[in-house]
Structure 1
Amino acid sequence: MHKQYTSVSPTDDISVKTENGPQQKKRRYIRKEGSCNVVFRHVPEEWLLFVTDIFTTLVEIRWRVMFLIFALSYILSWLFFGILYWVIALAHGDTKNNTSPCVYEVRSFTAAFLFSLETQTTIGYGFRGMSENCMIAIIVVTIQDVISCFIDTFVIGIVVAKMASARKRAQTVGFSNCAVINLRDGYLCLSWRIGDFRRNHLVEGTARAQIVHSTMHATGKIDITYEDMVIQQRDIVLVTPTTIFHRIEPGSPLYSMSLVDLRKADFELVVSFTYTDDSTGMLHQTRTSYTPAEILWGQLFQEMIRVSRRHYRVDYTLFNHTAKVLVPEVSAEDYELKKQLRPSPRHSPRHSPRSSPRPSPRSQRQNHHEKLLTPPKVTVELVTDSHPEPTVSTSQAENQHQDTLSLPNDLTSTEI
């Protein structure tokens, strides 16, 4: 195997010496599942912002918190209107066996709470009911019915929006656990794989990648910079798992980075895929990140698509599987420079028509004159025959040889 090439495993121990000793492991900027590893502190008027956009707040909170809030909203409304009915019963004297009460069969606070619950949930057991003797009680029942409709609508809308959230659909579109670097069409390329695990496929999608650098200064200041990466064929239809690749060429953040430089580099590759679902028509986004330890040098994703008689079969057990390939350890910049300096066997200087000088007319005339001065070459073949040869005189034999070896003037420059 040539010294320039090697197959590297992610578990291989490659010693990298740094000037400041071992580097401290940094936190991820984007977690593997796609959530941001960012916590906000001391936000001005934070509670006011959450209350102002209460719908988005309830959609983003966890299910157990949402169920607790909705249960409390019903219970507190029943309790509030039950207190109102109890106050009305006390003021009207319904607890003292009044013959014309505002609410029938409401003589205690428990009965008032049950009447509020039955009114808001429209149970109607038949024991308790309103009478036309008290207008204030009729107004309270009307207000409670209207508020009950608003609570039911709000709860149903929040539950539907939370179930159809883009985060749940994003969990069915996944990235590979690692990214790989290998040769593709003679160029070093960084690639990763993305696939849709559901049968209802996406309408269209756009892939994007950025390099995120976080630099910490001695004063404690942290600078976060972003570098966009050019992706070939970024607009795709995700019917089958697709390998997205970035060609490491001039202008790429990885152009001057070799294997050793990659192992001691400090950055984070953030990739995302924005797409439209064909079932709901909603816009979703799935994202993840790769650290330099998760970028495998000299690896290639295994093929997971097979063609049968009637279908294309996709084996998702090979989604994260890679195989070792021969890849130069040098950077893409050094690799391109070595390719330019390497002579091509098809265009050697000895055989190239452009490398040899074109003969001048004067030299062509000299070569033609030299060919005319060279004596002709004659090939004589001796044939033995069993038949007796006729006797020929010496003079006739000499004349015969002279006739045989004489050549015309116009054939002096050819070979016989």
Structure 2
Amino acid sequence: MKGQCFQSKSSNDVEDFNTSTTLVQPGVYHPRYSRMMRSKIVRRKYLRAVFKSGEFNIYTKTTKNVKIFSNYFFLLVETRWRWTLLNFFAAFTCNWLFFGFVYWFISYNHDDFSENHLPPYQNNFNFTPCINNIYGFTSTFLFSVEVHTTVAYGRRSITLECPQTIIAMCIQCILSSIFQAIMIGILFAKLTRPRGRTKTILFSKYAVINMRNDKFCLIFRVGDMRKSRILNIETKAYLIRLNAGDSKVENLEQTELTVVVDECESTFFLWPSTAVHVIDENSPLYRLSAADLLCCKLEILVVFEGIIESTGQPVQARSSFTEHDILWGHRFVSMFSEKCDAAITMCL
């Protein structure tokens, strides 16, 4: 970004800092001791509603009456991969252990584990067990895994001696199908989320306030790193003011800022676009001066929405600009260059 020079005459309002003028390049005129205007109390490093990456910095306190597991499916979709896979591992393992214990309990009540009724001696005593080739809990656990995964029973198979074993096997087959359907649905939902696509949409590190077409404007840029285009784009901005004393959100209100992208209503996202908010009488930033920007506490949330051309899925990218991310009197440099082969090159 390229800064402009602003010169101001000395005033009684800044006598406590310095009566002489100061010319700063790049940037805006401010007294020599302007850092005193940004005290440690006002400077906030982590207090922002939305991080630069688009993640929300909001923690919601829930009461004991709230049902956390009512939306367990969406919780597994939105959580990290390691926690989702850990839940899958725990669910399947508990399923195998539970039904392995059920088969063991049924076989134990049928006296299948006595020494004379073990598989090597069953033919001698003409004994029919509930499940063939079962020696203990390890065997019933492996049988439970075989029922769940349907990998064929092999030497372990169910008999008609115990009806409760047949009922338990049917219940496990139904629950196994439900578990696998839920797992496939969660994996498909996680893989098809456009979250990875939002990471390729970049916002400018700073927003600037300068003159544009003889009007004061708040300007920021948004660009896409991929070659696949985003259609029907829409950019929105919201203003959140904070109390300087207790760092609380004032009235929990968001004031929408009118934003125009490249001075047109519908934009074909060919290259990085410039979002402009005109600071006029109707703007919440109309009474904001350069000195106020040094001391005030505000945050501008920016939202970029569109449709992915290749998949047709909606995508939303977010970022924010605090008072430290807004530069007064700066301009963005050009990002375009032209090569000999008549191609337009952009530097992101």
Alignment TM class, shorter chain as reference: 0.7 to 0.9
User: Aligned partner of 2:300: which letter?
Assistant: L
User: Are positions 1:204 and 2:235 aligned together?
Assistant: no
- Aligned partner of 1:119 in structure 2 is 147
Q: What is the CA-CA distance between 1:130 and the residue it aligns to?
A: 1.5
Q: How many residues get paired?
A: 313
- Aligned partner of 1:315 in structure 2 is 347
8 Å CA contact 2:209, 2:329 repeated in 1: yes
User: Are positions 1:266 and 2:297 aligned together?
Assistant: yes
Specify the SS of the correspondent of 1:174. strand
Distance 1:163 1:127 in 2: 39
Q: Which deviates more, 11-20 or 207-216?
A: 11-20
User: Are positions 1:32 and 2:64 aligned together?
Assistant: no
Distance 1:243 1:83, change over 3 A: same
Q: Deviations over 1:317-344 (max 9, x none)?
A: xxxxxxxxxxxxxxxxxxxxxxxxxxxx
Q: Deviations over 1:65-85 (max 9, x none)?
A: 111111010100000110111
- Aligned partner of 1:193 in structure 2 is 221
- Aligned partner of 1:393 in structure 2 is none
TM-score under structure 2 length normalisation? 0.81
Distance 1:2 1:56, change over 3 A: closer
- Aligned partner of 1:41 in structure 2 is 61
TM-score under structure 1 length normalisation? 0.68
Distance 1:20 1:261, change over 3 A: closer
Q: What is the CA-CA distance between 1:168 and the residue it aligns to?
A: 2.5
Distance 1:215 1:135, change over 3 A: same
Q: What is the CA-CA distance between 1:16 and the residue it aligns to?
A: 4.1
8 Å CA contact 1:234, 1:244 repeated in 2: no
Distance 1:177 1:201 in 2: 22
Q: What is the CA-CA distance between 1:42 and the residue it aligns to?
A: 4.0
- Aligned partner of 2:332 in structure 1 is 301
- Aligned partner of 2:256 in structure 1 is 228
- Aligned partner of 1:74 in structure 2 is 92
User: Aligned partner of 1:137: which letter?
Assistant: T
User: Are positions 1:90 and 2:108 aligned together?
Assistant: yes
Choose between structure 1 and 2 for higher RCO, CA contacts under 8 A separated by at least 6 residues.
2
Q: What is the CA-CA distance between 1:133 and the residue it aligns to?
A: 2.9
Specify the SS of the correspondent of 1:271. strand
Distance 2:92 2:151 in 1: 15
User: Are positions 1:281 and 2:312 aligned together?
Assistant: yes
State how 1:9-408 maps to structure 2 within 5 Å.
9=27, 15-16=33-34, 23-26=41-44, 27-46=47-66, 48=67, 50-95=68-113, 96-97=117-118, 98=122, 99-124=127-152, 126-215=154-243, 223-232=251-260, 233=264, 235-308=266-339, 309=341, 311-316=343-348
Distance 1:105 1:227, change over 3 A: same
Specify the SS of the correspondent of 1:130. coil
User: Aligned partner of 2:90: which letter?
Assistant: L
Distance 1:264 1:244, change over 3 A: same
8 Å CA contact 2:241, 2:250 repeated in 1: no
User: Aligned partner of 2:346: which letter?
Assistant: V
Larger radius of gyration: 1
8 Å CA contact 2:244, 2:297 repeated in 1: no
Distance 1:11 1:19, change over 3 A: closer
User: Aligned partner of 2:271: which letter?
Assistant: T
Q: What is the CA-CA distance between 1:115 and the residue it aligns to?
A: 0.8
Distance 1:234 1:10 in 2: 32
Specify the SS of the correspondent of 1:182. strand
Specify the SS of the correspondent of 1:211. strand
Specify the SS of the correspondent of 1:103. coil
Identity value in percent: 29
Q: What is the CA-CA distance between 1:238 and the residue it aligns to?
A: 2.1
Distance 1:88 1:72, change over 3 A: same
CA RMSD in angstroms comes to 2.8
8 Å CA contact 1:193, 1:243 repeated in 2: yes
Q: What is the CA-CA distance between 1:117 and the residue it aligns to?
A: 0.9
8 Å CA contact 1:101, 1:133 repeated in 2: yes
User: Aligned partner of 1:264: which letter?
Assistant: C
Q: What is the CA-CA distance between 1:254 and the residue it aligns to?
A: 2.4
Distance 2:281 2:288 in 1: 12
Specify the SS of the correspondent of 1:104. coil
Q: Where does the alignment leave 5 or more consecutive residues of structure 2 unmatched?
A: 9-22
Q: Which deviates more, 231-240 or 71-80?
A: 231-240
8 Å CA contact 2:7, 2:29 repeated in 1: no
Specify the SS of the correspondent of 2:43. coil
Q: What is the CA-CA distance between 1:157 and the residue it aligns to?
A: 1.1
8 Å CA contact 1:16, 1:260 repeated in 2: no
Q: Where does the alignment leave 5 or more consecutive residues of structure 1 unmatched?
A: 317-416
Q: Which deviates more, 73-82 or 23-32?
A: 23-32
